[in-house]
A and B are shown apart, each in its own frame.
Chain A
Amino acid sequence: MKIKKAVITAAGPGQHHLPLQTLVSPNGDTKTAIAFLLDEIFASGMESAAIVIAPNCERDFSNAVGEHLPKVTFIEQSDPLGYGHAVLCAREFAGADRILLMLGDHLYLTQSDESCLGQFLAVANQVEGSISAVQPTHESKLPIYGTVGGQRVSGSNGLYEVSTVLEKPTPTVAEQELIIPGLRSGNYLCFFGMHVINPAVMEHLAESDSTPLLLSPSLNATAQNENYLACEIEGIRFNIGEPHGLLRAQLGMALAGESRDEVMASIIELIAMTR
């Protein structure tokens, strides 16, 4: 069944301002990071979106979402009890439907004709159950991401059947449990910041009493109990919460758009002038 609802988490402690940052898009428009995400979400056929925010942030976010405001619901996470808890806050919004889950501090740049979200939903809408967007990632980045292990779905391109999900694994564990045949050595499938989850994941989150409540253990439980897939995306993700993350995102967008030559010239000039 087609996915119609999206949830964006934007309540992380110390990070709730990140989605409000302003960037210039490849075609020269200026808008907030959250607006970029919503543009992509609604362009992909979503009918509604919920943003999980920290207390007292609704006004800022209302201003930031711009034209999408009528289709957006704000859900307040009263205490910062973990990413899984933020997702769980949207349980009522999700109801019995599969929902698209995105991160408020991530931006994407496609490397194909289709947007990153478009690529993901094209696959997600074809399958049942939960599915996550993933990307082969070097092991040196493992301390940052959730990572999946599993097998390639035979006959498919870039689609995997997930058997294990671990949050920020060490390479030691990754090598033992998360090796995917066909990937280059030292590379693992790490989350790309987009998931489609079904109510069973919400249910598992609700049953869990760990603090902080993370999403990965529930996804791992899903992988043990039902068919859970991962889909490889051709694109670049920018975590604007990292040091220089916003700058990297802006540069990535600028270099992918009409101002590429101008930006490159500026970069070279800066390099020449600084040491």
Chain B
Amino acid sequence: MLVSIITADDPALRDRSLAEACAGLDPTTLLAECQELDAFRRSSGNLYHRVRAIFFLQAIYRFHLPDKLSAEDTGSIPFTGYEDLLGRRFEEAIDTFLAKQTKEGPSDAISSSLAAAYHQLAFQTLADQVRKSVRTVRGNQWMFRMGHPADHPLRIRPELLSLTDNLFPVLCERTPVRMDLTHSAWSDIFFLGMDFPQGARVINVSVDLAVHGRDDSPKPPVEAYFRIIDQPTLRLTSIDLKASAEISALAEVFDFAKDYLGLLKAALIASGIVPPGIEGSGKSLADLLAQIAGPGRGIEIVSSVNDIPKGSRLAVSTNLLAALISTCMRATGQTQSLTGELTESERRLVLARAILGEWIGGSGGGWQDSGGVWPGIKLIEGEVAGETDPEYGVSRGRLMPKHHVFGDEEISTEARQALTDSLILVHGGMAQNVGPILEMVTEKYLLRSKAEWQGRQDALNLLEQILNALRAGDIHTLGKLTTKNFRGPLQTIIPWATNHFTETLIARVSEKFGDDFWGFWMLGGMSGGGMGFIVEPSRKAEALEAIHEIMIRTKRELENALPFAMDPVVYDFGINPHGTFGDLREGADAVLPPSYYHLTLGQTLRTPPADLSPIARTELDQFASACRTNPAFESSVQALFDTLIPRAAGEEDGDSSLQELLTEHGFDKAQHEKIRRDLRDGRIGLSQNRLSANTTIKDVTAEDITDFTTTGPADEAVALGQQALAKGEVAVVTLAAGAGSRWTQGAGVCKALHPFARLGGKHRTFIETHLGKSRKRGSEAGNTIPHLFTTSYLTHGPTSDFLDTVDHYSYPGPLHLSPGRSVGQRMIPTERDLRFAWEEMPQQVLDEQQQKMRDSLRSALIGWAQSAGEATDYNDNLPLQCLHPVGHFYEFPNLFLNGTLAELLKDRPQLKTLMLHNIDTLGADVDPAILGHHLQSDAGLTFEVITRRIEDRGGGLASVDGRTRLLEGLAMPREEDEFELSYYNSMTTWIDLDVLLELFGLTREDILADDQEKISAAVRSIASHLPTYITLKDVKKRWGHGQEDVFPVTQFEKLWGDLTTLPEITSKFIVVPRLRGQQLKDPAQLDAWLRDGSATHIESICEW
């Protein structure tokens, strides 16, 4: 039945949603359908039939089958299949998982594994097709055939080879960026354009930019320069990234992540100067350059985006790539004209090359992103593949779209001016990874999910209306339509397109400007970065300032909760009428931008004059002359001087505040130095985290656990729990001290404060959600539940301030913050640990080009660790980014040390039980049944575990040398051991307070008396019985204009679950439903979390 949906000619059947088709099917029928779909996808010759079948299979195994399986069908995941998955051997992984399913029957674990494998296979298949299409575009093919310098068929144009006044001419390319006036509902993703070309339509405008208040007037922000040099090398300079390199070996050109010059390298390759076919040939770069430019000559390429911040959603990097490719193509005669505009066929070729360049560089933009190459306003549309296209018979659409540039007769000059007069273009400052969003959209469209598919049709209708409004010059209507698009189709398709920051901005701008605020408009994959506000023209000047102020103010309020890469900016802009444009500078005019000389002349000046080439000497003269006569070079002498004599280290103020922070947060210098010595001597490290290889690790048996998923709670237990709640004997401890590394990839914001999803009609933070559950359980029990949030150096201040701002969410019960009492300082990792993490541990192999990028980056990071000093203090970042929390074990004893528990005991002397849980375990609440069960048992600690899915990595419940305990992933002697374990640790723990105090050798009286010495000694004593793990964490370093680098740093931690290793305390384990125990660790999980009913479940257990 499902196969017939895929192959149907009738659109009504073909576009039927999978969810609708699966509703009402029992597991046996669903599995039979899966078998049929799998056989179909293996045999079908049509790419999109195949891919759709794979997406169907993924969705069934992820969303439709698990709901219908019995709770007893837990199952396990074969490690060989997992290894295949990591190695991108998807077919083998699927075969292994299917074989297991056939042998042992369907299970939640196997379903999750199959879903993961099909998901990756689908995207790999699509990416392979795009790549194949890119290679087969005519004009690109030869570059993959050329493997020897002597065969190089390109020659530098003679105009660039002749010296004028002893200087080679400079070819300059200026390119606008593009904005998408309609938001294409993400239909500009290559896969989607190729699947449904009729649906891929965007209105794309080429714009010049200036940062309002900083730059004089809008100009094409992207600039690329090309000139010949008198050395047989490639000299590459990125002015904005302040990076320059002289490349003398071919292999270096293909080493993208070695420095910040990857985009320039990709342009050299995609333009055919260093064709991709020559990679790995071992040939000489000098020979190649001699062939195309003449013996002894080389090429210099310089890029600049005039400090336009990264993440603007204006496709700055794609248009820079296109500009670089254009200039290289002009220089090598691949365009008719050396200067001026490009012809239509040349623009299309630049587009094809930019797609190629993005693939080579391991990134990927949409097909409209090179829009700046074209002039003015244009309609970009997908095209149905014709018989002569390489895509014909494989996909419905062509890889390359067609561009229709609107003439003045279609969109008048007045209409264009009206748009300019009303639109305020901004960068909100948020740093976001839109990759997961693009995957979500692709999946939803290919599954023809009902609401999303309808959303896509609505967005297409809106495009027509927006186009009509633009033709009529009716910007007021246009504003209403872009808002309607944002509120309607876009958020129907991707709820995560909006966020609390954006919503607050819209509300504040709306409040400020009332009816004169005509509309909001989102640029790119999600809001928060590039956005547009449309206002009544007479108020534009006022709005430019006001919106900037609103954005800055809102950012200040939310910067601890949401990841911002920079302060928001407002742009001045103008519509560019040329597209990319080249000009040639000769003789005295052959100058590069002043910043180029600031960056590079230092080296020239340090060279003895006698060693300088005549051209270098002339260039120095030229610079000196420009400093005297050219206004653009006015401040160049000072800037050059600053480059030559950098500020002394002592002038930096970061170091002193780091020391203050360390002192303030209880940094243990002696312990730190010991860890450093042990790290250097190899006594501790990633490999030493592991238990010895002869440890016996087995899965637990039914006797070791109580399964709450299959057996309902006993009535007495429920009654006991309710009674304890009514008496106020229970409190909740939410662990909120961590930095949420995975949530923001090390951005150092408070995850607890992140308004991560709309629940009950508005964006809710993690804290509000946890309080919502306690509020509800409290009101049901007729007593309030005290709620404690542990914090750290990083999260305490922001959390405290935030709770004040929101009036503690009007929580009726006691609400306390428990500040951290210990902190560590991050260190530069050792090469040994980096290699262990990257080479010894199983790694997800990436797609071919991305893997190359990663290998190159890792090699650069190992170089960084060596040069910065292994196991030395990491302090090249903001002070707060140099500290680290020391593991969640400490968060509970901190309650003893910081007086929070004492305060609570004074308030609630009857307190007996604490439920401790992680900030991301959203389903955990004070369930009376589980509480009652814990009270009935003799356990000091009752840990909640859940059945394992493939994404649940990092240890589990195990029998270790005969003892049932939680085992951290870090400590697993062998990776495969983890796959024998049926249960994953949810971290939620029910604690008998008195038993735990006894373990520490403390009493309630000690706590109430705040006997610090005794308490500290007790904590140190227990801590010494627990293992210390060395971990590598990612930390972001922000610099420049929205640039971010991620570094691995070493830190140590002690973990809560290791309390189960102590024989002095009885630990029990219960299996709870997945909805209760699952953790939300990555924003990429959000969509599935919404779709699989998790969000609805959370709403049902909260009271706001």
| Contacting residue for A140 out of B138, B139, B152, B332, CB 8 A | B152
On whether the beta carbons of A172 and B139 are closer than 8 Å, the reply is yes
CB atoms of A140 and B334 under 8 A apart: no
Interface membership of A99, Cβ < 8 A: no
Per-residue 0/1 for A157-171: is the Cβ within 8 Å of any B Cβ (1 yes, 0 no)? 000000000000011
- Asked if B139 and A175 sit within 8 Å, CB to CB, the answer is yes
* Bound: A218/B20 CA distance, A: 65
Whether, in the assembled complex, B905 has its beta carbon less than 8 Å from a beta carbon of chain A, the answer is no
Interface residues on A, range: 10 to 19
Report yes or no: A186 in contact with B138, Cβ–Cβ below 8 A.
no
B272 interface hit (Cβ, 8 Å): yes
Say yes or no: B146 contacts A140, CB within 8 Å. yes
Contact present for B142 and A139 (CB under 8 Å): yes
Interface flag for A38 (CB, 8 Å) = no
Asked if B141 is an interface residue, CB under 8 A from chain A, the answer is: yes
What is the 8 Å Cβ interface bit string for chain A, positions 170-207, against chain B (1 contact, 0 not)? 11111110010000011000000000000000000000
Shortest CB-to-CB span from B742 to chain A, Å, is 44
Contacts of B138 in A (CB 8 A): 175-176, 179
Instruction: Give the complex CA separation of A12 and B332 in angstroms.
Output: 25
Contact indicator B145/A173 (Cβ below 8 Å): no
A142 at the B interface (CB under 8 A)? yes
What residues of chain A lie closer than 8 Å to B142, measured between beta carbons? 139, 171-172, 174-175, 186
Per-residue CB contact flags for chain B residues 129-160 toward chain A (1 = under 8 Å, else 0) read 00000000011111001100011111100000
User: What chain B residues lie within 8 Å of A170 (beta carbons)?
Assistant: 153-154, 272, 332-334
| Cα–Cα distance between A141 and B272 once the two chains are bound (Å) | 16
Bound CA span A140–B154, Å: 8
Contacts of B141 in A (CB 8 A): 175, 185
CB nearest neighbor in A for B275: A171
Query: Provided the pairs A143-B155, A179-B138 are in contact, do residues A172 and B145 lie with their beta carbons within 8 angstroms?
Result: no
> CB distance A138 to B334 under 8 Å?
no
For the complex, is B329 an interface residue (Cβ under 8 Å from A)?
A: yes
Which residues from B are CB-within-8-Å of A174?
142
1/0 per residue A134-165: CB within 8 Å of B?
00001111110000000000000000000000
State whether the Cβ of B345 lies closer than 8 Å to any Cβ in chain A: yes
Docked CA distance A174–B141 (Å): 11
Q: Closest CB-CB distance, A29 to chain B, in whole Å? A: 35
Interface residues of A in 119-140 (CB under 8 A from B): 138-140
Chain A nearest Cβ from B876, distance in angstroms: 44
Do A172 and B349 touch across chains, with their CB atoms under 8 A apart? yes
List chain A residues, Cβ under 8 A from B345.
Answer: 176
Residues 343-375 of B at the A interface (beta carbon under 8 Å)? 345, 349
Nearest-Cβ distance from residue B480 to partner chain A, whole angstroms: 44
CA distance A112 to B139 in the complex (A): 35
Q: Are A142 and B153 in contact, with the CB atoms below 8 A?
A: yes
A161 vs chain B, min Cβ distance (A): 18
Complex: how many Å from CA A139 to CA B333? 15
Which residues of chain A are within 8 angstroms of B155 by Cβ–Cβ distance?
143
Of A139, A140, A176, A186, the most chain B CB neighbours within 10 A belong to: A140
Q: CA separation between A141 and B138, bound complex, in Å?
A: 19
- Given the interface pairs A172-B349, A176-B349, the reply to whether A139 lies near B153 with Cβ below 8 Å is yes
Nearest CB in chain B: distance from A188 CB, A: 10
Contact across chains for A176 and B139 when beta carbons are under 8 A apart: yes
- Is B153 within 8 A of A143, CB to CB? yes
For residue B352, give the distance in angstroms from its CB to the closest CB of chain A: 10
Does the CB pair B139–A138 fall under 8 Å?
A: no
Q: Which residues of chain B are near A172, meaning CB under 8 Å? A: 139, 142, 272, 329, 334, 349
Shortest distance from the beta carbon of A176 to any chain B beta carbon, whole Å? 5
Do B153 and A140 have beta carbons less than 8 Å apart?
yes
CB-defined contacts of A179 to chain B, threshold 8 Å: 138
A-chain residues with CB within 8 Å of residue B349 when the two chains form the complex: 172, 176
Chain B residues whose C-beta falls within 8 Å of the C-beta of A186 in the assembled complex:
142, 145
Kindly provide the distance from the CB of B338 to the nearest chain A CB, expressed in whole angstroms: 13
> Which partner residue on chain B sits nearest A143 by CB separation?
B155
Across the interface, name the chain B residue whose C-beta is closest to A142. B153
- A contact residues around B154 at 8 Å (CB): 143, 170-171
Do A140 and B150 have beta carbons less than 8 Å apart? Answer: yes
Q: Which residues of B contact A185 (CB under 8 A)?
A: 141, 145
In the assembled complex, which residues on chain A have CB atoms less than 8 Å from the CB atom of B145?
139, 185-186
Q: Restricting to B607-642, which residues have a CB under 8 Å from any CB of A? A: none
Q: A139-B153, A140-B151, A142-B153 are in contact. Are A173 and B146 (CB under 8 A)?
A: no
Q: Which of A138, A173, A175 contacts B151 (CB 8 A)?
A: A138
Least CB distance from A175 to B in Å reads 5
A window 244-262: CB within 8 A of B: none
Minimum CB–CB distance from B1028 to chain A (whole Å) comes to 60
Chain A hits for B151, CB < 8 A: 138-140
For B146, list chain A residues within 8 Å (CB): 140
A186 CA to B151 CA, complexed, in Å: 11
A23 to B819, CA, bound (A): 96
Q: Determine the chain B residues whose CB is within 8 A of the CB of A175 once the complex forms.
A: 138-142
Binary A-proximity of B907-923 (CB < 8 A = 1, otherwise 0): 00000000000000000
Complex Cα spacing A90 to B154, Å: 33
For window 206-260 of chain A, which residues contact chain B by CB distance below 8 Å? none
A101 to B345, CA, bound (A): 34
- What is the bound-complex CA distance between A171 and B138, given in angstroms? 10
- Chain B 748-769 residues near chain A, CB threshold 8 A: none
Q: Convert A85-104 into 0s and 1s, putting 1 for each residue whose CB lies closer than 8 angstroms to a CB of B.
A: 00000000000000000000
Q: Are B150 and A173 in contact (CB under 8 A)?
A: no
Q: How far is the CA of A25 from the CA of B153 in the complex (A)?
A: 33
Interface centre among B140, B142, B153, B333 (most CB of A within 10 A): B153
Residues of B within 8 A of A141 (CB): 153
Pick from B154, B272, B345 the residue with the most CB of A within 10 Å. Answer: B154
- Cβ–Cβ < 8 Å partners of B332 in chain A: 170
Q: Which residue of A lies closest to B329 (CB)?
A: A172
Residues of B231-273 at the interface with A, using a CB-CB cut-off of 8 Å, are: 272
A173 and B153 within 8 A (CB): no
Q: Which of A140, A170, A172 has the most CB of B within 10 A?
A: A172
A173 touches B152 (CB 8 A): no
User: Taking the nearest CB of chain B, how far is it from the CB of A93, in angstroms?
Assistant: 33
In angstroms, how far is the closest chain A Cβ from the Cβ of B395? 21
Complex CA gap A176/B348 in Å reads 11
Cα–Cα distance between A63 and B142 once the two chains are bound (Å): 47
CB distance from B538 to the nearest CB of A (A): 50
CB proximity of A242 to chain B, nearest CB, Å: 14
Q: How far is the CB of B402 from chain A (nearest CB, A)?
A: 16
Min distance, Cβ A217 to any Cβ of chain B, angstroms: 12
B interface footprint on A66-88 (CB within 8 Å = 1, 0 otherwise): 00000000000000000000000
**Closest partner residue, chain A, to B154 (CB atom):** A170
Min C-beta distance of A168 to chain B, whole Å: 8
Q: How far is the CB of B602 from chain A (nearest CB, A)?
A: 38
- For residue A140, which residues in chain B have a CB less than 8 angstroms away from its CB? 146, 150-153
Question: 16 interchain pairs (CB within 8 A)?
Answer: A139-B142, A139-B153, A140-B146, A140-B150, A140-B152, A140-B153, A142-B153, A143-B153, A143-B154, A170-B154, A170-B272, A170-B333, A171-B153, A172-B349, A173-B139, A186-B145
List residues of B whose CB falls within 8 A of some A CB.
Answer: 138-142, 145-146, 150-155, 272, 329, 332-334, 345, 349
Query: Top 7 closest A-B pairs, CB basis?
Result: A140-B151, A171-B142, A172-B334, A172-B139, A175-B138, A170-B334, A171-B153
20 additional A-B pairs beyond A140-B146, A172-B139, A175-B139, beta carbons within 8 Å, are A139-B145, A139-B151, A140-B150, A140-B151, A142-B153, A143-B154, A170-B154, A170-B332, A170-B334, A171-B153, A171-B154, A171-B272, A172-B142, A172-B349, A173-B139, A175-B138, A176-B139, A185-B141, A185-B145, A186-B145
